[in-house]
Amino acid sequence: MGWNAAQLAEAYGNSPELHGRVHLVNHVPRSARPGHLYVLGGVRRQPTFEQLARLSQHSRHAEAALYQINGVYLIQMGPAGVAVVTVFIPRRQDGIESARWIAHTHPLEQENWQQGIAHGPTDADRLALGAMNRSWGQSESTLLVCRRGRIERTVEFTLEQDDAASAFSGGQLWTPDPH
């Protein structure tokens, strides 16, 4: 049987990539720390895209990514001031039976003279979706272009035939105690 919310939080919290930056919460947070992962243990319905856009706004305009792993929702925050969130691709042998990358934000407030913000999927988004496809068979995700906590544009993107380029896969997870 796949890991539950507490076991997912324990596994990710003890991984070298996220050690000390994982929080098991009972609701969608109003604000979040950039670079942190939130395991939504008490949430049964999928968080709305509007909640994700507001979360980006209240979290120093960091990108937010929404996942569902073993039926549990997770929100991963990118770093503040940089238009990027690293999509973590879980592996099946890690005690994870299902995984889906639902959506992520592109907050337009990140745009400045040094970096633009894409109003559609980037090459990195397509590479991440390609990795999810190879690991979990997922071929579509949603991009939320937002400003001031409101969605300006929703972009459904799919894996194209020529997007079979190699991509990264997730790191090792520490195995939680099953009790």
The tally of domains found in the chain comes to 1
151 assigned to some structural domain: yes
The helix or strand, by DSSP H or E, that contains position 54, with its residue range, turns out to be: helix 49-57
66 assigned to some structural domain: yes
Q: For residues 49 and 52, what is the distance between their CA atoms, to the nearest angstrom? A: 5
Mean pLDDT taken over the chain:
85
Burial of 30 (0-12, 13-18, 19+ CB in 10 A): exposed
Determine the structural domain holding residue 102 and report its residue range: 5-158
Q: For residues 148 and 137, what is the distance between their CA atoms, to the nearest angstrom? A: 34
Place of tokens 């076991």: 7
pLDDT digits over 48-91, tens only? 999 999 999 999 989 999 999 999 999 999 987 666 667 777 87
163 assigned to some structural domain: no
Half-sphere exposure of 154 (CA within 13 A, CB side): 12
Tell me the pTM: 0.86
Contact 99, 67 (CB under 8 A): yes
169 assigned to some structural domain: no
